[in-house]
Structure 1
Amino acid sequence: MPATTTTILDAISASEEAGRPIPDAATRETIAYAPVHTVADLNQAVTTAQAAQPAWAALGHPERSRILHAIADELEANLEELAVLLSREQGKPLDGPNARFEVGACALWTRSAADITLEPELIFDADGARAEMHHRPLGVVGAIGPWNWPMMITVWQIAPSLRMGNTVVVKPSEYTPLSVLALVEIFNRHLPAGVLTAISGGREVGAAIAAHTGIDKIMFTGSTATGRRIVESSAHNLARLTLELGGNDAGIVLPDTDVSPIAEKLFWGIFLNTGQTCAALKRLYVHDSVYEEVVATLAAMAEEMPMGPGLEAGNVLGPLQNQKQFDIVARLVDDARERGARIVTGGEAASELGPLFYRATVVADIDDDAALVDEEQFGPAIPVIRYSSVDDAISRANASEQGLGASVWGNDTEAARQVASRIQAGTVWINQHGTVNPHIPFGGVKASGYGHEFGAAGLKAVSAPQVISY
């Protein structure tokens, strides 16, 4: 029978005396107490994972895939309970493309990791000589996740790793440990002991993962600054890395674009998860011919979208997850206002809803050198920048050190594809933004990291290539 939220929460929570209080993102009331694990706990988890890995690998792909499907079934059976916990801890509402969507995506990505085929590749066959490329388990994967999509991104890390025969040690964000602990609890109902362990610790635990000699692969989603520290810490161990780092994604709306058909996708490309998405649209360059229409359309939609506590039916925008992120958004918008930018809508806290709510904000008549354009806001505030020349818009879009995603919007798909080919980003979407697919590789360029997740490329990223020649 599916467990209730209380049962899952009871299974993962620490006592008040031994744990750390985790607040509800909307109300700031304590949800539960997260365990406080240490570096010693991490060391034990790695030792256990090393011991469990050979037997897990020996099960073979068919059996590991069967187990992953069973896990996906259990995720779906407990979807509502997991979504309620996620909504409370992270802040995203149950409704809309939010908490229920995220838990459902966990099941989808788990099934995808189970089903994608990765056959040996014949890479040479001539003159009586053959060579094949095989993909073997790496060993122990260390997965360090973020707080914005804590369950879904953790599944992106652990499901492919498990499928390929690795064992995994997970460190959730200090802001959202309960969601990840609940996810791991569901996984571990079907996994052998020691195959998957969650370590709910502080920054010192994350640093220890990066430098741990018993970890063969590190997967990290988070800031560029932290990613650089992970590269440095892992250098002496030569652990393989997949880094999905910060994004300051640009969008370009081409001249004479029909705004109405793209409006909804444009809005959610910006404001999905109240803007707290790595690959959200963070800078929007709009041609003179449609500039005011785009600004007015986005502002009207922002004013109409229901915002409030995530457990209240109908809300689709929630709070900022933590005070630090709220302060960043407020600072960037205030700076834009002081520079003379036009705050079309929003631009202030929605304190009547709760401590960390900030109104969906559209900022117009702003220049590239403004902090709101240059820095990743990671919140519900979009700078809309005017341009006259497409070549100029491309140059300005490419000026950022980051290159996670980007998008091009227009009536002519072929023209949009030509522009997309000139943008420096790991993924460029056309007439959409931030849409990911478990079969399509995803990863950044420049300071947005390296390595790919999803699809066969994602499976290869958590395996060791082995060439057999004969």
Structure 2
Amino acid sequence: MASPTVPAEGAAEHTLPPALVGRLVSRVVSDGAATAAIPGPFTGEPLATIPLTSADDIGVAYGRARAAQRAWAALPVRERVRPFLRLADALVERRSEILDIIQLETGKARRHAMEEFLDVALCSLYYARRAERLLKPRRRQGLMPALTRVQELRHPKGVVALIAPWNYPFALGAADIAPALMAGNAVIHKPDTQTCLSSLWVLDLLTSLGLPEDVWQIVVGDPSDIGDPLVDGADYVSFTGSTRGGRAIAERVAPRLVGYSLELGGKNPMIVMADADVERAARGAVRACFTNAGQLCISIERMYVHEDVYGRFVPRLVELVEGMRLGSGLDFEAEMGSLTHQRQLDAVTRHVDQAVGKGATVLTGGRARPDLGPLFYEPTILTGVTGDMDLCANETFGPVVAVYKYRDEDEVIARANDTPYGLNASVWTRNTAAGRRVAARLQAGTVNVNDGYGAAYASYDSPMGGMKQSGVGRRHGAEGLLRFTEAQTVASQHLMDFEPPGALGYERFADLMAEGVKIMKKLRIR
């Protein structure tokens, strides 16, 4: 079994300029009483020391946020979007700096850090171009034509608590915060402690581009210390993370009837149909399974291959995976970086070792690579995974995929849907119409035909989120902004009321109203 190779060139120095780190961490809401050192995943050596936020600091942050939000919401939308229109150019100009930060705090390959960069630039630009139209008052049809005038207004929720994960900290922080701010809210943002530097960097940048102080504040700390006061103070909660964490948030806010959106876990299937282009599907599978070392909520962890192409597809996939370049260089050579946390390496190792112990076969990979760095694990393909193995149904969140053979369409759809999750799916076929037909039968919030995840996720005009236990609500599209608003209907009645005019009796009035229903139907007014 061949091992993935390492780029020949040596890795760059894995440190950040102290002045940069000092400027960024000064933006954490904290009294400075407690700190935490975050290690660099590539080396295990300290990358930065972060001041931690206390429960009392959370109260201070909310006080500042509410004061700032009132003035921010009073601005016209066209003024609120200006910092975000400037952001795209500023990101391009400082691309190397943010890519370094993302890599060093997460351990991901630079090409995957680039995806985060593009997501923030393009998603924020999408909303900056459309926020004014999405938020403007809208005329709605009234009860009585020409007599009832109705407007739908959109008001900000107030202060949003946004809890972002560690795996895509730049994208799943800033790209969600942008529409929340454009809608007129203030945001209290809690990134993961390990990966807070990229969020602090873009906050610092946006402030220099005209975003007022205190409308976006960053708090850092363990959920057990600051999670409850953070959620308790919010007018709306946006959370990306585990299904277990999402349930806890839903239970916490339920007594206050506070709204929330949750993007949660997944066990995402990929279906390779009998007519698939084997080479294209195998190359697509490498990307779908091993981007960011598999630490991607929409990555593929289950692969169903039709028996007619199984014998060609699986060997080619193994060949491609064995040729992958792993490394920690701050360049675009490595095809996969390391895991981010020791706990994630432990979880991946546990899933694979248990599966092998119960009879699964490792086709390639299946071992940690401490020679590359403390958290590297080889991209791994297994067969013979069965229902009594944790790897079968539970999210692994690492560079591991199980491959299964199937015979017919109904069978594979049933197997793909046999999960409590429903976040993302992928279908590969030369017949796009057939692929779309299969996609429509899959219980997943996004389905990609002849792509693993990017086609649907990066189509910002369309909603993205999960079915079943993979989430509540959607990011992207109109809903991705409007979820941060309260809808208000204002209706004014003109000329006549809902009472019989003059001496007209109510019975005759009721007859006329009933006839009016038929007339409105005939004229297609209703």
TM-score, length-normalised on structure 2?
A: 0.85
RMSD: 1.8
Cα offset for 1:62? 0.5
Q: Does 1:444 align with 2:466?
A: yes
Other structure's SS at 1:468 match: strand
Cα offset for 1:369? 4.2
- Aligned equivalent of 1:121: 138
Aligned equivalents of 1:408 and 1:120: distance in 2?
40
Kept in 2: contact 1:164–1:463 (CA 8 A): yes
Cα offset for 1:368? 4.3
Cα offset for 1:417? 1.4
Kept in 2: contact 1:365–1:386 (CA 8 A): no
Q: Taking structure 1 as reference, are residues 12 and 394 closer, same or farther at Cα in structure 2, changes over 3 Å only?
A: same
- Deviations along 1:381-432, one digit per CA (max 9) or x if unpaired, are 1101111122111111111111111121111111111111111111111111
Q: Match for 2:485 among 455, 463, 467?
A: 463
Kept in 1: contact 2:174–2:199 (CA 8 A): no
- One-letter amino acid of the structure 2 residue matched with residue 468 of structure 1: V
Cα offset for 1:66? 1.2
- Deviations along 1:46-99, one digit per CA (max 9) or x if unpaired, are 1111111111011111111112112333233222111111101101122x2x11
Q: Match for 2:217 among 162, 184, 197?
A: 197
- One-letter amino acid of the structure 2 residue matched with residue 86 of structure 1: I
- One-letter amino acid of the structure 1 residue matched with residue 202 of structure 2: L
- Aligned equivalent of 2:53: 37
- One-letter amino acid of the structure 1 residue matched with residue 115 of structure 2: F
- One-letter amino acid of the structure 2 residue matched with residue 394 of structure 1: I
Aligned equivalents of 1:63 and 1:306: distance in 2?
46
Q: Which runs of 5+ in 2 are unaligned?
A: 1-15, 493-526
Cα offset for 1:16? 10
Cα offset for 1:132? 2.5
Q: Does 1:372 align with 2:391?
A: yes
Q: Taking structure 1 as reference, are residues 210 and 198 closer, same or farther at Cα in structure 2, changes over 3 Å only?
A: same
Aligned equivalents of 1:392 and 1:423: distance in 2?
12
Q: Match for 1:70 among 67, 86, 92?
A: 86
- Aligned equivalent of 1:268: 287
- State how 1:210-359 maps to structure 2 within 5 Å: 210-212=231-233, 215-311=234-330, 314-359=333-378
Cα offset for 1:310? 4.1
Kept in 1: contact 2:327–2:336 (CA 8 A): yes
- One-letter amino acid of the structure 2 residue matched with residue 462 of structure 1: F
Aligned equivalents of 1:85 and 1:17: distance in 2?
25
Aligned equivalents of 2:122 and 2:40: distance in 1?
27
Q: Does 1:147 align with 2:159?
A: no
Kept in 2: contact 1:310–1:316 (CA 8 A): no
Other structure's SS at 1:150 match: coil
- Deviations along 1:257-315, one digit per CA (max 9) or x if unpaired, are 22112332222111111100011111111111111322212211111111011425511
Kept in 2: contact 1:270–1:281 (CA 8 A): yes
Aligned equivalents of 1:430 and 1:262: distance in 2?
10
Identity of aligned residues (%): 37
Aligned equivalents of 1:163 and 1:58: distance in 2?
12
- State how 1:17-36 maps to structure 2 within 5 Å: 18-36=34-52
Q: Does 1:209 align with 2:230?
A: yes
Q: Taking structure 1 as reference, are residues 17 and 228 closer, same or farther at Cα in structure 2, changes over 3 Å only?
A: closer
Cα offset for 1:360? 0.6
Kept in 2: contact 1:410–1:416 (CA 8 A): yes
Aligned equivalents of 1:9 and 1:130: distance in 2?
55
- Aligned equivalent of 1:81: 97
Q: Taking structure 1 as reference, are residues 175 and 447 closer, same or farther at Cα in structure 2, changes over 3 Å only?
A: same
Aligned equivalents of 2:245 and 2:57: distance in 1?
22
Aligned equivalents of 1:313 and 1:191: distance in 2?
32
Kept in 2: contact 1:368–1:374 (CA 8 A): yes
Kept in 2: contact 1:367–1:385 (CA 8 A): no
- One-letter amino acid of the structure 2 residue matched with residue 441 of structure 1: P
- Deviations along 1:215-252, one digit per CA (max 9) or x if unpaired, are 11110000000100000111122221010001111111
Cα offset for 1:12? 2.0
- Aligned equivalent of 2:8: none
Q: Taking structure 1 as reference, are residues 367 and 256 closer, same or farther at Cα in structure 2, changes over 3 Å only?
A: farther
Q: Does 1:112 align with 2:126?
A: yes
Aligned length: 463
Other structure's SS at 2:320 match: helix
Cα offset for 1:17? 8.6
Cα offset for 1:367? 2.9
Other structure's SS at 2:194 match: coil
Q: Match for 1:61 among 77, 80, 88?
A: 77
Cα offset for 1:105? 2.3
Aligned equivalents of 2:245 and 2:70: distance in 1?
31
Q: Does 1:133 align with 2:140?
A: no
Kept in 1: contact 2:33–2:51 (CA 8 A): no
Cα offset for 1:183? 2.3
Q: Match for 1:179 among 194, 198, 201?
A: 198
Q: Match for 2:409 among 385, 390, 394?
A: 390
TM-score, length-normalised on structure 1?
A: 0.94
- Aligned equivalent of 2:116: 102
Aligned equivalents of 2:122 and 2:215: distance in 1?
21
Aligned equivalents of 2:422 and 2:249: distance in 1?
19
Other structure's SS at 1:80 match: helix
Aligned equivalents of 2:127 and 2:22: distance in 1?
29
Q: Does 1:362 align with 2:381?
A: yes
Aligned equivalents of 1:168 and 1:99: distance in 2?
24
Aligned equivalents of 2:436 and 2:74: distance in 1?
45
Deviates more, 1:5-14 or 1:263-272: 5-14
Aligned equivalents of 1:236 and 1:358: distance in 2?
43
Deviates more, 1:314-323 or 1:102-111: 102-111
- One-letter amino acid of the structure 1 residue matched with residue 211 of structure 2: L
Kept in 1: contact 2:363–2:381 (CA 8 A): yes
Aligned equivalents of 2:258 and 2:88: distance in 1?
29
- One-letter amino acid of the structure 2 residue matched with residue 103 of structure 1: F
Aligned equivalents of 1:110 and 1:429: distance in 2?
23
Aligned equivalents of 1:23 and 1:376: distance in 2?
25
- Aligned equivalent of 1:163: 182
- One-letter amino acid of the structure 1 residue matched with residue 180 of structure 2: S
Other structure's SS at 1:20 match: strand
